[in-house]
Amino acid sequence: MRLDIKINGEDAPPLALICHKDQAPALGSAMTEKLKELIPRQMIPVKIQACVGVKPIASSQVMNPAGFSRTPVNN
Is residue 74 one of the residues assigned to a domain?
A: no
Q: Tell me which DSSP letter residue 28 carries.
A: H
Number of structural domains found in the chain: 1
Query: What's 33's domain CATH number?
Result: 3.30.70.2570
* Predicted confidence pLDDT, tens digits, the chain (75 residues): 999 999 999 999 999 999 999 999 999 999 999 999 998 888 888 899 999 989 999 999 888 776 455 555 555
Query: For the chain, what is the radius of gyration of the CA atoms?
Result: 15
Total-model pTM: 0.78
Is residue 75 one of the residues assigned to a domain?
A: no
Is residue 56 one of the residues assigned to a domain?
A: yes
SS3 20: coil
Cβ atoms of 32 and 49 within 8 Å: the answer is yes
Q: Which domain holds residue 28?
A: 2-62
